[in-house]
Amino acid sequence: MSLRYQINVRIILASFIILVLGGMVAVWQARAAVSKEIDSSLNLARQLIQLNFPHGGQSAVDISAWLPRFVSLEQTRHLQIQLQKASGEVVNFTAEPKRVAASQAPPHWFINLVSTQYPEVEQQLTTADGQRLTLIIQADPIDEISEAWQESRAFFVSLWVMALLTFGAVNLVFNKAFRAIAAIVDGLKAIEQGSYQQKLPDFAIQEYDHIAKAINHLTTVLDTAQQENSALTLHSLQIQEEERQHLSQELHDELGQSLTAIKVMAVTAKNPQADTAQITDAIISICDHLITVVRSMMRHLHPLVLTELGLKATLEDLLNHWASRQPDLTLILHCNDAVDHLPPKMDIQLFRVVQECLTNIVRHAQASEATIRLDILNGHLYLEVADNGRGSTVADLKAGFGLSGMRERIKSLGGDFAIDTAPQQGLRISATVPLP
């Protein structure tokens, strides 16, 4: 069920209820107004009769002169005046018959709702020639009911017009709103397809304009993130190719040449006149060199100590390695023993983050001291690497791929990554990772 349909149904129901309630109020007011007018006319008639017939109608009165003047009064237009003779004959003295145009005549149901029982006034009169008559005054509210019907009909028409205007105005507003919603939905579909360059236009409706600006900001962030991820992926592939090229070169230069030399020495050793002891010493020397090369390659590819001794020992070995190469840099490690029980996936990612941090400190920070903290608290692992170096600016942070790679490693673990730095204030990298 669409929003437009629901709102239109509610508007129609509300208009119907308003019309019903307004009709009830109009009928009640019309009934009260007619009753009040008729009562006023009857009271006036009683007062006039009492004034003209102070002795209860026993004095002789010229009926033919008084009654036409009484009937012609404006206040008696809602009354039907009759004279009843002693013989029972009834003479109607209403001045003019009440005639209502067919177009203005109230319907019977309205007359029945508005009308009520009205009292009847009777007065005994004696004419100058001694004839006794009965003056009968009855309510005739048809013209008052007609006036009430005209007012009620105008009220109903006004309600209908207001309801139609409200319905039309609401639909105009919703047409505009639905066009904005359609544009927003189209924009979201474009985002779903990866078209982050498409922007939503400005909307006249403030709420939709806020939504459009938020979506445009989202697409800008997504576009930036996509570009960064693409650049990071290309950089990772480039590094991978460089590492493969480096390993291939090392295998060719070190292993290939050393194995060729061992083979030549082994062939030479077959000669009975060869100096076997010297050849053996040379082969042992070449094998020791190969072992050193292979261990270096293995350390570069994956630290075996991480699998054998755990993360803490691996970090200590890493710090010792850098301390031997950078004697002017003081490295401090605060590490909880519980980190040795982390999953292998988390171990290698945290190790690579610390390794990249130390590499950046050595290359760029110009620091004299760096501290690595690794702790577990409340089901989360907290990592912090801080130095007292020259710090960095926002532009410097976005220049390379090291920080982006670290951020992606932490995000792959479901954690949060933050950087706090300022020129000449050092740099602090912190990460929070939930434990499985």
Give CA angle at 140 (137, 142), nearest 5°: 175
Identify whether the C-beta of residue 9 lies closer than 8 Å to the C-beta of residue 150: no
Q: What is the mean pLDDT of the chain?
A: 80
Residue 101 DSSP one-character state: -
Query: Containing H/E element for 51?
Result: helix 3-52
Structure tokens at 289: 């060199």
The CB density around residue 381, as the number of other CB atoms within 10 Å, is 21
Phi, psi at residue 347, to the nearest 5°?
A: -60, -50
Bridge partner list, 384: 373, 430
CA distances 86 to 196, 286, 347, Å, are 104, 158, 125
Phi-psi region at 157: left, alpha or beta (left = phi > 0; alpha = psi -120 to 50): alpha
The bridge status of strand 121-127 relative to strand 60-61 is: parallel
pLDDT at residue 64, as a whole number: 61
Best mean pLDDT range from 4-8, 29-33, 133-137:
29-33
Residues 6+ apart with CB under 8 A from 59: 53, 126
pLDDT of residue 57: 47
Please list the residues that pair with 429 across neighbouring strands: 385, 419
- pTM above 0.85? no
State how far the Cα of 141 lies from the Cα of 178, in Å rounded to an integer: 54
Q: Is residue 414 a contact partner of residue 406, using CB atoms and an 8 Å limit?
A: no
Categorize the per-residue pLDDT at 417 as very low, low, confident or very high, splitting at 50, 70 and 90: very high
Q: 41-87: per-residue pLDDT in tens?
A: 777 777 776 666 655 544 455 566 666 666 666 556 667 777 777 76
- Residue pLDDT, tens place only, 228-282: 777 777 766 776 777 777 777 777 777 788 888 888 888 888 888 778 888 888 8
